[in-house]
Structure 1
Amino acid sequence: MDLLEESVVPEHARDVKAEARAFAEEHIAPAAQEYHDSGEYPWEILEAGMDAGLVAQDISEEYGGRGLDLYEIFAIAEEFYRADAGIGLTMMLASFGAEIVEEYGSEEQKAEFLRPVAENDQITGLAVSEPDTGSDLAGMTTSAEKDEEAGEWVLNGEKYWIGNAVEADWLTLYAKTSDGEDRYGNYSMFIVPTDAPGYEAEHIPEKIGMRASKQGHIVLDDCRIPEENLVGVEGAGFYMLAEFFNHGRIVVGGHGLGLAAAAIEEAWEFVHDREAFSRDVSEFQAVQHILADMRMEFEAARSLNWRAAKKVAEGENAGFWAASAKTKSTEVANFCAERAMQLHGGRSILQERRVSRVYRDVRIPVIYEGANEIQRNLIYRQSKY
């Protein structure tokens, strides 16, 4: 059963998809349970992914990357998350936010910050969410004030749920720079080295899912960065993120599809290798119907997601398609994981079972990159276009 078969994948993205599958089978899947149990950061696997050219390679060739496009990153996401979501997230977060610097940063910023990430000498992250604010991008309170005399920006506030907050060399950080009436024009993006004075970060306590990926709580206490670390134009941060998240939500759809595929695989194998009431469990019509529903939902989500990838890549009502793909794919992952747990019966709750790990992991993508309730707002508002 090859649920992630390549027929819907654009031809140019199939080679990197095959690379990702081979890597996942060799490095991620065999270590997944170990890292889930320990909750340790998978440095060795991340470094192996770097050596394989599968980490931070959406950065263009001009700055040291492979220039992988949206279709190729989406294809990698499906394969990594099918093997393990926690390790997969770690590998995909290693350059998270760097795309904003490439799109809007100065040539000096790209040379100083992008190239070391593309060459896998550094890792980065994106700092947006706060302890009391997640999906409301125009409600963040972390501030950035310019100290004209010192030629610096002074940051104050907190960030929460930030991937690589502790491990990263630098972050792309979203902060409030004004109090104008246009609440969407009050925010800007900054490059913040994690060794900047006034930057402190600690790991968030252990999570139930995606345990091989580390998120952190950042406290910015008069954190000072050079004024040239402003990315692009002051006040354009909200709009930068809106565009960035359109691409990101397509990839998160890939997260959901990889998890859904894992759930279906586990359920199929289990019911075809177990007997009850002197019959193979797969012979019961109720079981067959559950598997049929899982497969139909998966195929519908995958078709939508790949169609949405094309719409976003071509800039055709990108917000609608990105939100639709992310919502459908991550919710199908939850549906498939719950059904797979039911088919496994009592064994589903055993820590050692892959289906148990998948069941925990699927709860997370419905929240990150904008909770699905917010995505439904976007889908409704942009349906008229």
Structure 2
Amino acid sequence: MELLDESIVPEHAREVKAEARAFADEHIAPNAEEYFRTGEYPWEILEAGQDAGLVAQDIDEELGGRGLGLEAMLAIAEEFYRADAGIALTLQLASFGAEIVEKYGNDDQHEEYLRPVAECDQITGLAVSEPQTGSDLAGMTTSAEKDGDEWVLNGEKYWVGNAVEAEWLTVYVKTGDADDRYSNYSMFIVPTDAPGYDAEHIPEKMGFRASKQGHIEFDDCRIPEANLVGNEGTGFYMLADFFNHGRVVVGGHGLGLAAAAIEEAWDFVHDRAAFGRDVSEFQAVQHDLSDMLIEFERARALNWRAAGKVADQDNAGYWAALAKANSTEAAVECAERGMQLHGGRSVLSENRIARVYRDCRIPVIYEGANAIQRNLIYRQR
């Protein structure tokens, strides 16, 4: 069954899509069950992805990357997440937030921080959420205060990919107290070996077990003034633009998971008998599978249309929110139907459908919960 066909993919992104599929078939899918069971960080697969030119390659060619655009990153996401969401997220988080530094940072920051990531000598991450605050980007309390030629950070960040593993992070903190709450935030490059930086892995998650998130505490963490990205007070607007691109790619997370759920359910019902008949012969089963395909194809068409709109900066926030909400919810719908079609065997964690079901509950929350996406859809139309 070929669900993630290339016919909807722009021609310029088809080659990297084929590379991603070959890599996923060789490195991700065969190891998915083991990494889900152990919950270990897939260093070997990450390094293989770096060697294959499929990690951190949205960074510009002049800095050592491939300069892959949004549609190429979406094509990679579909293929990786179809194979396994946890390993896929590890691969895609290796450069998460680097795009902000590339777009708004200066040449010195590019050379010192971006080039090692693009050349796969380092990994990075983005710290936004806090223990008590997630989707409210203008409600974060972690702060940075100027002290001479340094900034001093205090507070906490949560759900940070690579908080423990990365060499540096892009960190979103409060630097002002203006009436316009959206102008109070700035972005900083924070090395993870900076004095006052302390991180630990958060407790184990129900899904995405091969991807590690951390809890960071900043206790008078000092960084040079030169580590401010762009202008003070513009962090919220940087992040909003960044998430427009990210939400399209997260839609790809949902599409890959939905495809995996459909594949598993299709194979299962065509290889099982009940009441003297092949399970696939029952009309109710056929309707369930048809509904899964309807959800998937509808979401994929919207997601790829949104990718083009966001790439062209055509009402990007609206289209990004549509794609993220629809595709991630399509994954949930397909996984739930897939679980039902598997019957009692669906609850065994050794089965792919059980892992997909656990995993698909997570993208509806990250990169802005889907309730927030609906707010954006309404306000930006």
TM-score range, shorter chain: over 0.9
| Counterpart in the other structure of 1:188 | 186
Any stretches of 5+ residues in structure 1 without a counterpart? none
Q: 3-state SS of the aligned residue for 1:173?
A: strand
1:368 to 366, 369, 375: 366
1:96 maps to 96
1:34 aligns with 2:61: no
Distance 1:342 1:327 in 2: 23
C-alpha offsets along residues 346-374 of structure 1, whole Å, 9 cap, x if unaligned? 00001110000000000100000000000
Q: What displacement does 1:3 show?
A: 0.4
**Structure 1 CA distance for aligned equivalents of residues 23 and 202 of structure 2:** 29
Structure-2 separation of matches of 1:286 and 1:331: 22
In the other structure, the counterpart of 1:203 is: 201
Aligned-partner residue type, residue 193 of structure 1: P
- Structure 2: gaps spanning 5 or more residues: none
CA–CA distance in structure 2, aligned partners of residues 354 and 297 of structure 1? 20
What's the CA shift for 1:314? 0.4
Match of 2:318 among 309, 317, 320: 320
Q: Which residue number in structure 1 is paired with residue 173 of structure 2?
A: 175
CA distance in 2, matches of 1:285, 1:129: 46
Q: What does residue range 215-254 of structure 1 map to in structure 2 within 5 Å?
A: 215-254=213-252
The separation in 1 between residues aligned to 2:23 and 2:278, in whole angstroms, is: 34
Query: Secondary structure of the residue that 1:6 maps to in structure 2?
Result: coil
Q: Which residue of 1 aligns with 2:378?
A: 380
The alignment's TM-score, normalised by the length of structure 2, stands at: 1.00
AA at the equivalent of 2:26 = E
Corresponding residue for 2:210? 212
Match of 1:86 in 2: 86
Alpha-carbon separation, structure 1, partners of 2:314 and 2:350 = 44
**SS of the residue 1:188 aligns to:** strand
2:335 to 316, 334, 337: 337
2:294 aligned residue = 296
What amino acid sits opposite 1:359 in the alignment? Y
Shift in Å, 1:84: 0.1
Is 1:144 aligned with 2:163? Answer: no
Corresponding residue of 1:18:
18
Shift of 1:6: 0.2
Q: Which residue of 2 aligns with 1:130?
A: 130
SS in 1 for 2:186: strand
Alignment deviations for residues 195-236 of structure 1 (CA, whole Å, 9 cap, x no partner): 000000000011110000000000000000000000000000
Superposition deviation, residue 95 in structure 1:
0.2
Q: Percent same amino acid at aligned positions?
A: 79
Cα distance, 1:98 vs structure 2? 0.2
Could you say what secondary structure the match of 1:348 adopts? helix
CA offset at residue 332 of structure 1?
A: 0.3
| Matched residue count | 381
Question: What is the CA-CA distance between 1:317 and the residue it aligns to?
Answer: 0.4
Name the residue aligned to 2:114: 114
Q: Distance in 1 between matches of 2:119 and 2:202?
A: 28
CA distance in 2 between counterparts of 1:251 and 1:374 reads 17
Which aligned pairs between 1:43-62 and structure 2 lie closer than 5 A? 43-62=43-62
Measured in 2, the distance between the counterparts of 1:49 and 1:315 equals: 30
Cα distance in 2 for partners of 1:49, 1:109 equals: 25
Q: Does 1:70 align with 2:70?
A: yes
CA apart distance, 1:25: 0.1
2:271 maps to: 273
Q: Distance in 1 between matches of 2:115 and 2:350?
A: 40
Instruction: Give the AA of the match of 2:189.
Output: I
Match of 1:361, as an amino acid? D
Q: Deviations over 1:318-348 (max 9, x none)?
A: 0000000000000000000000000000000
For the residues of structure 1 that align with 2:82 and 2:379, how far apart are their CA atoms? 32
**What letter matches 1:253 in structure 2?**
G
Deviation, 1:254, is 0.1
Letter in 1 for 2:282: F
Secondary structure of the structure 1 residue equivalent to 2:7: helix
Q: Give, in angstroms, the shift of residue 188 of structure 1.
A: 0.1
Deviations 1:235-280 (A, max 9, x none): 0000000000000000000000000000000000000000000000
SS at match of 1:325: helix
Following TM superposition, where does structure 1 have runs of at least 4 consecutive aligned residues deviating by more than 6 angstroms?
A: none
The corresponding residue for 2:347 is: 349
